[in-house]
Structure 1
Amino acid sequence: MKLYYAPGACSLASHIILNEINVDFDLERVDLKTHTTEKGQDYYTINPKGYVPALEINPGLILTENVAVLPFLAQHDPKQDLIPPSGLGRAKVLEWLGYLNSELHDAYAVFFAQPMDDETKQRAYVEIDRLLQYVEDYLAEVDTDYLVDDNFGPADAYLFVLTNWSKGIGHDLSKFKEINDLRDVVSQRQSVQIAMRDEGLID
């Protein structure tokens, strides 16, 4: 398999899960400004949507969208218990991926679309806080180590990646204790450390 990624982008979640499973894979960096891969290929010929992640499963067979790529990878190695094979547990993982992808991801993404004045930024911060508060309240109520049960999975990786963006946009994440506690646990996983080093995000 090959993951097309951009450093620190949402494709980092797929990179983390790839490190968790027992599979060989390659990485190819994408410049999202020029839509060119590090090997000089027009990225639109790989993913006509133009964004990451794109997972090449076999030559010419491409899977895109976090809500599809992350569960696909997580189920690759059942011994890892990254995602339940069926039933309510699997549905809960998909529920979280849907929320993170359609709500929280979009709330952060407005900061990367175009320059924003201070008033617009403040409104966008409020929206991010509103969406994060839902996660915070949920984590405070449940007696689990991660978002779904006690097993690390794709939703935890995705939440970690999205909230990483807070620092870059000047958003205060410190008020969310439960989220930060989860982030601390996730950040210590070897899969996360390796992915972040490979993408040049940490030394």
Structure 2
Amino acid sequence: MKLYYSPGACSLAAHIILNEVNVDFDIERVDLKTHKTEKGADYYEINPKGYVPALEINPGLILTENVALLPFLAQQDPKQDLIPPSGLGRAKVLEWLGYLNSELHDAYAVFFGAPLDAEAKEKAYAEIDRLLTYIDQAIASSDHEYLVDDNFGPADAYLFVITNWSNYIEHDLTPYSHVVEIRNKVAARQSVQIAMRDEGLIP
């Protein structure tokens, strides 16, 4: 397998899960401004959507979108218990991935487009805070160690990656203690440390 990624982008979640499962894989960096890969390929020819992640499963067979890609990767090594094989548990993982992708990811994404004026920034921060309040309360009301159950999984990796963007937009996560608690557990995993080093995010 090969993962096409951009450092610190949402593709980091797939990079983390790849490090968790027992598969051989390569990574290739994509410049999202020029849409060229580090080997000089036209990224639009690999993924016409133009954004990351893209997972090349076999030559010519590409899977995109985290809501599809992360569960696919998580099930590659059943011994890891990263995702329930079926039933309500799996549905809950997909529910969280859908929410994180369509709501929280989009709320942060506005900071990475055209510059925002003061009023627009205030509204954008408020929307992130609204979503994080819901997530924090959902975690607080659960008896589980992670978002879905007591096992780390793809939704936790995705939550970690998205909320990591708070570091780049001067946003304070301190009020969301339950989110921070999960973030800290995820950050300590070897799979995360390796992925972040490989992407040049930490020394």
TM-score tier, shorter chain, comes to over 0.9
Structure 1: 5+ residue stretches without partners:
none
After superposition, where does 1:161-172 map in structure 2 within 5 Å? Answer: 161-172=161-172
1:145 alignment partner in structure 2:
145
Residue type at the aligned position of 2:202: I
SS at match of 2:4: strand
Name the % identity.
Answer: 78
2:40 alignment partner in structure 1:
40
How much has 1:118 moved relative to structure 2? 1.2
Separation in 2, partners of 1:126, 1:99: 17
Separation in 1, partners of 2:119, 2:164: 23
Alignment pair present for 1:191 and 2:194: no
Please identify, of 58-67 and 170-179, the stretch whose mean Cα deviation from structure 2 is larger: 170-179
Residue type at the aligned position of 1:110: V
After superposition, where does 1:3-152 map in structure 2 within 5 Å? Answer: 3-152=3-152
Separation in 1, partners of 2:63, 2:181: 32
SS at match of 1:109: helix
Separation in 1, partners of 2:149, 2:169: 31
Separation in 2, partners of 1:147, 1:173: 17
Structure 2: 5+ residue stretches without partners:
none
Give deviations 1:26-76, integer Å, cap 9, x for gaps: 000000000000000000000000000000000000000000000000011
Separation in 2, partners of 1:89, 1:148: 7
SS at match of 1:169: coil
Give deviations 1:65-120, integer Å, cap 9, x for gaps: 00000000001111100000000000000000000000000000011111101110
Separation in 2, partners of 1:119, 1:110: 13
Give deviations 1:115-174, integer Å, cap 9, x for gaps: 101110010000000001111001111111100110000000000000000110111111
Separation in 2, partners of 1:69, 1:121: 31
Separation in 2, partners of 1:143, 1:3: 34
What TM-score, normalized to structure 1?
0.99
Separation in 2, partners of 1:185, 1:194: 15
After superposition, where does 1:168-183 map in structure 2 within 5 Å? Answer: 168-183=168-183
Separation in 1, partners of 2:100, 2:185: 19
Separation in 1, partners of 2:165, 2:97: 17
Separation in 2, partners of 1:118, 1:82: 41
Moved >6 Å (runs of 4+): none
- CA-based RMSD of the aligned residues comes to 0.4
Residue type at the aligned position of 2:27: L
